[in-house]
């Protein structure tokens, strides 16, 4: 019931109108991100300059997505893209999510405070994260409350104005920072994993990258035209490249536990009694040969009916049936009443960022960082994903 109420409050923040406002925030940071990768002055007053030969995109995408979410949750960017002193937060968020995952798998760790003995460093890091974000949230709450409830209609606005229909009370300050923190974790790390995975599979599959560049460069003649709307949404190869990366590298890869309700349930011929915790990892579903032909190959064409799917050992044509089966099994955002509420926002950020990168840059895999021993995007499941890379070299596209 509590979940339903919070979800109703938050869903107002994802209306079409609200999404338009989010795009403006995203674009400020995506432009800054692209300028930094291009080695242009991008910081305040144009003083900042960054011109590395090799870029670790897990890091840069992390700074980008945290800056976007910081501004949307707290009304102010963390400025990680332009201020290296502010970047430690990314690491702490990963640690906080990891601790949550470990304690969720064995609840006595939390209940009996065994976490302070058995996973002390992790617990301390999580505490550091809480302290940091509590300060951040209280400051923002103060600023925003003073600015009045009619300030910017971002996530904070909706949280600040949320009322319990029964009691008429708003969220307390601890509840407010709790909710803002959940959003920060849910919205930044997942998006940066999906961005990094997409570029990883593109630099490892240069044929797919060439097709995507052709699609983006053929449909836009100026980078500033790349904004959301039908022109961008109609880029079918772009969407397929992103979906195919999220299939092989889902940003929440592990089993999301659900508890069986009263009366039990039968799953796949097995009876699970009431109270059983169960779940299936998206990672396993997404690589199952019943749903995906050549499941370990990166083939964006599998999402496009009638397209030829090329693998190392031959080719096949995707049909209405193969596309439908693939769609039905695809669940990077989970499904049902607890499925991702931020899906449209995430897809907007993914499309804008990847399309702008394809328009502006020529990108190459640099030194193998970001790849696991099986040739896939290297991820460690911490509920969200710990990742490093891909390392790439980026050059501004040669304009003829």
Residue ranges for the binding site for heme? Answer: 340
Range in contact with ligand HEM (rule: CB under 6 A) among 39-47, 109-117, 187-195, 305-313: 187-195
Degrees, nearest 5: CA angle 293-198-54: 135
Question: Per rule CB under 6 A, is residue 187 in the interface with ligand HEM?
Answer: yes
Closest distance of CB 172 from ligand HEM, Å: 19
Question: Per rule CB under 6 A, is residue 20 in the interface with ligand HEM?
Answer: no
Collapse the DSSP code of 170 into the 3-class scheme (helix H, G, I; strand E, B; otherwise coil) and give the result: coil
Q: Which of 131, 219, 209, 236 is nearest to 174 (CA)?
A: 131
- The structure tokens listed for 303 are 């999402």
Site for ligand HEM in 189-218 (CB under 6 A): 190-191, 194
One DSSP character per residue, 277-338 reads EE---HHHHHT-TTTSSSTTS--GGGGSTT-EEEETTEEEE--HHHHHHHHHH--TT--STT
Place of tokens 């900042």: 48
Give CA–CA dist 232/244, Å, rounded: 18
Give CA–CA dist 99/123, Å, rounded: 7
- Residue 12 near residue 160 (C-beta atoms within 8 A): no
Site for ligand HEM in 125-184 (CB under 6 A): 183
Closest distance of CB 74 from ligand HEM, Å: 13
Closest distance of CB 396 from ligand HEM, Å: 27
Closest distance of CB 73 from ligand HEM, Å: 8
Site for ligand HEM in 245-264 (CB under 6 A): 251-252, 256
Q: Count CB-CB contacts under 10 A for residue 290.
A: 9
Helix (H) / strand (E) element for 212: namely helix 206-219
Closest distance of CB 46 from ligand HEM, Å: 30
Residue nearest to ligand HEM (CB): 342
- The structure tokens listed for 88 are 């430690």
Place of tokens 């995952």: 101
Residues, the chain, total? 400
Question: Per rule CB under 6 A, is residue 111 in the interface with ligand HEM?
Answer: no
Give CA–CA dist 393/135, Å, rounded: 37
User: Of 294 and 381, which has the nearer Cβ to ligand HEM?
Assistant: 381
User: Of 223 and 341, which has the nearer Cβ to ligand HEM?
Assistant: 341
Site for ligand HEM in 298-357 (CB under 6 A): 332-334, 338-342, 345-346
Closest distance of CB 51 from ligand HEM, Å: 29
Range in contact with ligand HEM (rule: CB under 6 A) among 132-140, 185-193, 207-215, 388-396: 185-193
Residues forming beta bridges with residue 266, ordered by sequence position:
271
Residues forming beta bridges with residue 270, ordered by sequence position:
267
Q: Which of 113, 77, 381, 93 is nearest to 252 (CA)?
A: 381
Closest distance of CB 116 from ligand HEM, Å: 25
Give CA–CA dist 226/164, Å, rounded: 40
User: Of 247 and 318, which has the nearer Cβ to ligand HEM?
Assistant: 247
DSSP 291: T
Closest distance of CB 361 from ligand HEM, Å: 21
Collapse the DSSP code of 55 into the 3-class scheme (helix H, G, I; strand E, B; otherwise coil) and give the result: strand
User: Of 292 and 333, which has the nearer Cβ to ligand HEM?
Assistant: 333
User: How many positions of this chain bind ligand HEM (CB under 6 A)?
Assistant: 20
User: Of 42 and 89, which has the nearer Cβ to ligand HEM?
Assistant: 89
User: Of 11 and 308, which has the nearer Cβ to ligand HEM?
Assistant: 11
Residue ranges binding ligand HEM (CB under 6 A)? 7, 183, 186-187, 190-191, 194, 251-252, 256, 332-334, 338-342, 345-346
């Amino acid at each position: 019931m509590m979940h339903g109420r919070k979800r109703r409050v938050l869903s107002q923040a994802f209306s079409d109108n609200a999404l338009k406002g989010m795009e403006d925030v995203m674009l400020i940071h995506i432009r800054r991100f692209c300028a930094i990768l291009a080695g242009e002055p991008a910081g305040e007053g144009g003083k900042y300059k960054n011109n590395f030969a090799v870029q670790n995109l897990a890091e840069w995408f992390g700074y980008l997505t945290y800056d976007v979410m910081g501004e949307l949750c707290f009304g102010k960017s963390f400025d990680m893209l332009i201020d290296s002193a502010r970047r430690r937060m990314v690491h702490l968020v990963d640690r906080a999510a990891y601790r949550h995952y470990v304690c969720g798998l064995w609840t006595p760790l939390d209940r009996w405070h065994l976490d302070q003995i058995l996973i002390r460093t992790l617990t301390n890091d999580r505490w550091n994260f809480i302290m940091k974000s509590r300060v951040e949230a209280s400051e923002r709450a103060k600023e925003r409350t003073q600015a009045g409830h009619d300030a910017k209609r971002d996530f904070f606005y909706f949280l600040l104005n949320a009322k319990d229909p029964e009691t008429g009370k708003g969220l307390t300050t601890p509840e407010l920072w709790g909710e803002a923190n959940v959003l920060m974790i849910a919205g930044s790390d997942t998006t940066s994993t999906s961005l990094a995975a997409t570029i990883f599979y593109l630099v490892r599959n240069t044929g797919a990258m060439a097709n995507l560049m052709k699609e983006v460069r053929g449909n836009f003649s100026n980078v500033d035209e790349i904004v959301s709307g039908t022109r961008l949404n109609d880029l079918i190869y772009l969407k397929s490249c992103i979906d195919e990366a999220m299939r092989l590298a889902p940003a929440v890869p592990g089993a999301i536990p659900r508890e069986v309700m009263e009366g039990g349930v039968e799953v796949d011929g097995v009876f699970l009694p009431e109270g059983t915790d169960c779940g299936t990892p998206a990672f396993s579903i997404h690589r199952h040969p019943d749903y995906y032909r050549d499941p370990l190959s990166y083939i964006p064409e599998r999402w496009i009916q009638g397209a030829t799917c090329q693998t190392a050992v031959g080719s096949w044509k995707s049909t209405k049936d193969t596309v439908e089966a693939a769609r039905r099994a695809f669940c990077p955002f989970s499904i049902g009443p607890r499925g991702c509420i931020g899906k449209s926002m995430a897809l907007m950020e993914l499309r804008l960022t990847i399309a702008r990168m394809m328009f502006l840059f020529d990108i190459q895999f640099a030194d193998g960082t970001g790849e696991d021993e099986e040739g896939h995007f290297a991820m460690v499941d911490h509920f969200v994903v710990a990742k490093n890379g891909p390392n790439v070299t980026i050059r501004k596209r040669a304009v003829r």
